[in-house]
Chains A and B, each alone.
Chain A
Amino acid sequence: MAPKQVRKGSRNPDLIRGLGKFSRSKMYHKRGLWAIKAKNGGAFPTHTKSTTTSAVSAEKVKFYPADDVKKPLANRRKERPTKLRASITPGTVLIILTGRFKGKRVVFLKQLSSGLLLVTGPFKINGVPLRRVNQAYVIATSTKVDIATVNVDKFDDKYFAKKVEKKKTKGEGEFFEADKEEKNVLPTEKKDDQKAVDASLIKAIESVPELKAYLGARFSLKSGMKPHELVF
């Protein structure tokens, strides 16, 4: 027997919209329904009927509610992270446009589940730590850094969550002293994470000539530069 061939499209081409080329009897023959019947002994093969809702529909429902209760529409929306621009791939150099690091050129690591982009300076090169950044406030350049040696699996949105502090009850005398809270010191754990990620990254960056200086410099528009004509 010839191998099973998957059929593409309908067997009944349109003459015009709504009118097929072949009549019902011709289509019966083309679909091979006569062969299916013959194989099944003169009748169409049937499924064995399953007994399901017969019990419920038997008794008559005596009570109908007075007002129509509206059913809310079914919400099929699936929550997923923001669609990542095709130009942004792991290792791309991005230009941050807003915030205290505006103009900084930064290496993209991965997209987090919230949709934000995980990014690092590297810290030693331009002072940008492991940070989250919104895709909308970023220009993607076409320069890529080799990021294969970097492990970013442990970073997710929870890593960047703000620490919840215990509420301090303000007493009169303690007013002035209580304000002198200890400054937010970065836990050493985060510093070590930064160093670990940056170590292999910096090696990859130093293998490309002038890339280190490039990442250390800020981007700015000079006279005569037209952003809509620039190729990034």
Chain B
Amino acid sequence: MPFKRYVEIGRVALVNFGKDYGKLVVIVDIIDQNRALVDSPDMIRSQMNFKRLTLTDITIDIKRSPNKKTLIAAMEAADVMNKWENSSWGRKLSVQTRRASLNDFDRFKIMLAKIKKAGIVRQELAKLKKESTA
């Protein structure tokens, strides 16, 4: 029940609304109760309402309002992108984007592959059942 992810300087968040939807950003300063100053290696530092952000588990070690160079260095040191891509949340997101971008032909190939896999699984199961009853 207690909160585990706090809004703090250095907290990595995912943007869930607006022009920068889907980006990972770092909270670099807090403006007031509702807004934070937010920055990322590929965007201009800007303010964002907390309602647009979803906090992640990742934090980096920075002081208030670092310059871009320091920020990027701190992100490298904390290995943010790798941690994100290996986290279950990050993996789920990449699967979602992959599925959304599938071609009609890709969907067909996947259907064939699923049927094949199910067939193999069923064969193995039948074998195991036979062994257990025999």
Contacts and interface: CB of A to CB of B under 8 A. Distances in A.
Interface of A: 93, 95, 105, 141-143, 210-211, 213-214, 217, 219, 229-232
B-side interface mostly:
helix
Contacts of B109: 210, 214
A105 B105 CA distance: 10
Contact of B103 (A105, A142, A217): A142
Contact of A231 (B103, B108, B112): B103
B58 to A, nearest CB: 30
Contacts of A219: 104
B101 A93 contact: no
Contact of B112 (A95, A141, A213, A229): A213
Contacts of A213: 108, 112
Interface of B: 100-105, 108-109, 112
B108 A93 contact: no
A32 B23 CA distance: 58
B28 to A, nearest CB: 34
B36 to A, nearest CB: 31
Contact of A143 (B101, B104, B112): B104
B108 A210 contact: yes
Contacts of B112: 210, 213
A231 B105 contact: no
Contacts of B103: 141-143, 231-232
A93 B102 contact: no
Nearest to A141: B104
B127 to A, nearest CB: 28
